[in-house]
Structure 1
Amino acid sequence: MSTVLDSRSFLRWCWRQLTSMRIALILLLLLAVAAIPGSLFPQRSQNPIQVKQFFIDNPQAAIWLDRFSMFEVFSSPWFSAIYLLLFISLIGCVLPRSIHHLKAIGAKPPLTPKYLDRMEHYAEVKKIDLDIVEKYLRKKHFRIRRDENSISAEKGYARESGNLLFHLSLVLILIAVGIGSLLGSRGDAIVNVGDRFINTPTSYDILGFGKYQAEDSLPPFSLTVKEFKAEYDPVTNAAIDYKLTVSTANPAGSAETTRIIKVNQPLAYGSTKIYLQANGHSPIVVVKDKSGKVIFDGPTPFLPQDANLSSIGAIKIPDMQPQIGFVASFLPTADRDPVRGGFSSYPEVLDPRLLVSIWKGDLGLNTGVPQSVYRIDTSKMERIGLKALVLNETYDFGEGSITFTGWKSWVNLQIVNDPGKGFALFGAILAILGLLISLFTRQRRIWVKQGRKTQVAGLAKNGIPGLEEEIADLIKEMSNER
């Protein structure tokens, strides 16, 4: 029997420790620290290609990191454990305090202490009428407890209300984050101007679902990228504005509508929001074999490497024998430096160049291992050509030819369905409001006691200065009334 009691006592002790504010703050700090690896290492749910590349570049370290779920931080057991413990700790800490505070709101202020001379800012004045004191204190928004020979007054209950509001808002934010991770989805897709995007899993470059979401949960819609316009400062090259024009439709057969998307103005499609995330250029090339047959003709998205949109990419031609790969750089406004070599001096396409390095051999597309569309593994290939192409120039590299015929702009669309985002925003607003109330509300107690003389004293519960002036104003008011 004693063993059972000891176990219960131990569990009660554990619960008290877990629901203490000190442990809640420690868990909050641990959660912030635990999230750091998620920004240092690529995550499988966001970019599996980068994870694969990390394994190639750091095979030994990657194996050990994977054992500790460093590539799946936010779904790892240890991160989930900290998250759940923090949630339980805040609930266990805040709810009892909230219930106690609700009961205390309607309660009368505490009784007047027997020895007021031990309190802060004690003073004695000539005997006065307590009715005058009560009237003055009520005007100053004090709650009054009137006894036969004394008045106990208190104000500043909003400080504790703000404190509790802040912590309850943190719980709401945690719930919102949990809802988003369980019921939400997030994906990215690069779409060339003129192309159509259909909201199906195969249209995405990267797509991740919450635990209780699946591919059939994507809302049906499509959009066609009509025009993308970017404005830049000609002096600083800094972006001034991005404007994306799209036409949208759904499978129900409704007429297409033209919509505008900007960086801070996403397109809402039901509960799904479509953000303009990034932009770049897709050079258009025509590749022919030795006989002159066109093997490839179209744009290929390149990834920007700097603010002036100097971009790199890869054009893979597996249908030629031998297979051909172009490791390329696209310069919208070409310039050259003795140290840097070729670079773009302005983000708009004013004087384009396409720098290509031509390789032949096995592209590795039939291995079953996923690879980046922006890179080529040339370790088993042979370089057979190198050329800087101007617009409409053709280069014959022996196995065929390549012609640089133009370019298209592309945009990176981020399609997000986060059902918890609204709750998180609401929780953040309430948290800030609660914090402000808690910091700036003055919690005061003032006692006035009748005897041979009238005794006045007070107590500043949260240490905010000003109590001495309030008592001096009270004494002055009583002296004037007298």
Structure 2
Amino acid sequence: MRTALLLLLALALVAIPGSLLPQRPVAPIRVSDWKEANPAVADLYEALGLFDVYGSPWFAAVYLLLTVSLIGCIVPRIAVYLRSVRQPPARTPKRLDRLPASATGTTTLSADAALGGAEEWLRSKRFRVRRDGDSVAAERGYLREFGNILFHLSFALMLVGVAWNTMLHYKGEVVIVEGQAFSNNLTQYDDFTAGAAFRPANLQPFTIWVDSFIAKFETGDVQRGAARVFEANVRIAHGAGEPEQAMIEVNHPLVVDGTQVHLIGHGYAPVVTVTDPNGDVAFSGPVVFLPQDGNFTSLGVIKAPDARPNYLGFEGFFLPTAIVDEQGPRSVFPDALAPELFVNVWTGPPRDETGRPESVYSLTKDGLEQMRTPEGNVVTFRIAPGQAIDLPDGSSLSFDDWRRWTKLQVSDEPGLWLVITSVGLAVAGMLLSLYIRPRRLWVRVVEGPDGPRVEAGGLDRADSSTGLDEDVTGLAAAAGVLDATEQHCDAAVVDEEEDA
């Protein structure tokens, strides 16, 4: 147990870097920024695995040693406990008056009747009883040690569950615009993390269509703009099966073949069409804009790499409820009551296809310059749904409509059930170890000059227990003692009890 406690302390210590430094599995961009800001120690930290502490070999080593140590503690204790359960209660000590609580008195019953009454009373109190000649021994509270073992065993099971979950779990995020669909395939995720033992074949085959997303906000004076309803009306198809209607709400995930689908975000996607100077449609469709504040002022870019003769890029804001005042363009309400786009235009020579991934939320401006009017002014404009803007180079942009997008998190935590079950068992074990009172009681009937005399005594095997005196007195009364004389002893347990 001492080794297990030391390893538990070591596990807490080695986890500290994971709290102080950015971790690559959850924040790869922050790791890159930190390494650029601290080049002197970046390589050393990388070699030590400090940017992925919980996946490092040394963290796993401490973790596994702790598990082995706990099992090494628990297994011998289980064997000792099973032997104690199979054994009958300890024999009656010779000197009951030396126990922490004892009582004596003359019984009105015969010796056999007195022992029978005491045995019946003990059984009614759920004691295990052992009768030997002129005495009865009883014990209860075996569940206390069972609870203690259960608590430690649950902790070991929890470590196993966490390891299982860490190795096989996966979590992916995807943004879906109303009217579009998503299939549970690696290539369709915007962001994806998984355990070391995960394989793409572990993904359950299903497809989700987002038919509509409903968002409602408070319009009254109190808590104006506060969220009231977020619902995604979807259809779900299992493998090649027929689609079924379903709904996903915040904190009410959709469970598909054991995989959980959570609703974790939403926003707006303006539907635009870009026409190049040749009259060809260079881009058409919804573009995801990312919210920047509580009123859903949203930032986004529109890219038309196929425009000719020049590349066209648009950078701007979508304002759901737009106004322009002394603070500039801004949104004053999160719902789309008066939506508008505020746009800057960038242009430059066509770019070669490199196959290198590029963020859809930012515009790479290398080789580009802002479009200007013949007078030399930078081209900026505001546009509402249903309007189109002709640009100085002969191209145009039309704001056709807007839709909502929703961000779904798809995850599978195969070991989570074991972790949750272990926590529940640990709580149950702790309650048993805290509230079960292991107690031993004995009663002996000896012949005296005034008739059979009863000696009763008791011993608690746990601190802070109460009611021992009452049980001893009750045991004596059950043996026919009308006026028991109570005695107390603050000394240690008698030698005979230790031998027992």
Give the TM-score taking structure 1 as reference length. 0.82
Give the superposition deviation at 1:438: 2.1
Residues 408-417 or 237-246, more deviating: 237-246
Cα gap change, 1:323/1:210 in structure 2, threshold over 3 Å: closer, same or farther? same
Instruction: Please tell me whether residue 441 in structure 1 is matched to residue 442 in structure 2.
Output: no
Instruction: Please tell me whether residue 152 in structure 1 is matched to residue 137 in structure 2.
Output: yes
What do the CA deviations read for 1:441-482 (whole angstroms, capped 9, x no partner)? 222222334456624232241423333443344455556778
Give the superposition deviation at 1:139: 0.6
Alignment correspondent of 1:70? 50
Alignment correspondent of 1:260? 247
Contact 2:456–2:476 (8 Å) recurs in 1: no
Alignment correspondent of 1:391? 385
Cα gap change, 1:104/1:457 in structure 2, threshold over 3 Å: closer, same or farther? closer
Give the superposition deviation at 1:217: 3.4
Give the superposition deviation at 1:194: 0.6
Alignment correspondent of 1:456? 457
Q: Secondary structure at the match of 2:362?
A: coil
Instruction: Please tell me whether residue 97 in structure 1 is matched to residue 85 in structure 2.
Output: no
- Please tell me the residue identity of whatever aligns with 1:192: V
- Please tell me the residue identity of whatever aligns with 1:263: V
Question: In structure 2, how many angstroms separate the alpha carbons of the residues matched to 1:153 and 1:305?
Answer: 71
Aligned pairs for 1:48-197 within 5 A: 48-49=28-29, 51-55=31-35, 59=39, 62-127=42-107, 129-197=114-182
Instruction: Please tell me whether residue 407 in structure 1 is matched to residue 412 in structure 2.
Output: no
Question: In structure 2, how many angstroms separate the alpha carbons of the residues matched to 1:28 and 1:311?
Answer: 46
Question: In structure 1, how many angstroms separate the alpha carbons of the residues matched to 2:380 and 2:207?
Answer: 40
Give the superposition deviation at 1:180: 2.3
Q: Please point out which of 190, 211, 214 is paired with 1:226.
A: 211
Question: In structure 2, how many angstroms separate the alpha carbons of the residues matched to 1:50 and 1:368?
Answer: 25
Q: Secondary structure at the match of 2:409?
A: strand
Cα gap change, 1:47/1:364 in structure 2, threshold over 3 Å: closer, same or farther? farther
Contact 1:290–1:398 (8 Å) recurs in 2: no
Q: Secondary structure at the match of 1:265?
A: coil
Question: In structure 1, how many angstroms separate the alpha carbons of the residues matched to 2:36 and 2:365?
Answer: 14
How many residue pairs align between the two structures? 460
Residues 344-353 or 329-338, more deviating: 329-338
What do the CA deviations read for 1:39-59 (whole angstroms, capped 9, x no partner)? 665544455455445545655
Contact 1:460–1:467 (8 Å) recurs in 2: no
Contact 2:261–2:408 (8 Å) recurs in 1: yes
Contact 2:456–2:472 (8 Å) recurs in 1: no
Alignment correspondent of 1:430? 425
Contact 1:327–1:358 (8 Å) recurs in 2: yes
Q: Percent identity of the aligned residues?
A: 38
Cα gap change, 1:50/1:222 in structure 2, threshold over 3 Å: closer, same or farther? farther
Q: Secondary structure at the match of 1:255?
A: coil
Give the superposition deviation at 1:204: 0.6
- Please tell me the residue identity of whatever aligns with 2:235: S
Cα gap change, 1:325/1:433 in structure 2, threshold over 3 Å: closer, same or farther? farther
Contact 2:443–2:454 (8 Å) recurs in 1: no
Q: Please point out which of 414, 417, 423 is paired with 2:412.
A: 417
Question: In structure 2, how many angstroms separate the alpha carbons of the residues matched to 1:232 and 1:479?
Answer: 77
Contact 1:49–1:372 (8 Å) recurs in 2: no
What do the CA deviations read for 1:398-444 (whole angstroms, capped 9, x no partner)? 55544433322112222223322222232222222222222222222
Greater Rg, structure 1 or structure 2? Answer: 2
Alignment correspondent of 1:15? none
Give the TM-score taking structure 2 as reference length. 0.79
Alignment correspondent of 1:9? none
Q: Secondary structure at the match of 2:49?
A: coil
Q: Secondary structure at the match of 1:167?
A: helix
Contact 1:449–1:456 (8 Å) recurs in 2: no
Cα gap change, 1:351/1:103 in structure 2, threshold over 3 Å: closer, same or farther? farther
Contact 2:259–2:412 (8 Å) recurs in 1: yes
Q: Secondary structure at the match of 1:225?
A: strand
CA RMSD of aligned residues (A): 3.5
Give the superposition deviation at 1:30: 4.5
- Please tell me the residue identity of whatever aligns with 1:302: F
- Please tell me the residue identity of whatever aligns with 1:258: Q
Contact 1:119–1:459 (8 Å) recurs in 2: no
Cα gap change, 1:44/1:372 in structure 2, threshold over 3 Å: closer, same or farther? farther
Instruction: Please tell me whether residue 203 in structure 1 is matched to residue 188 in structure 2.
Output: yes
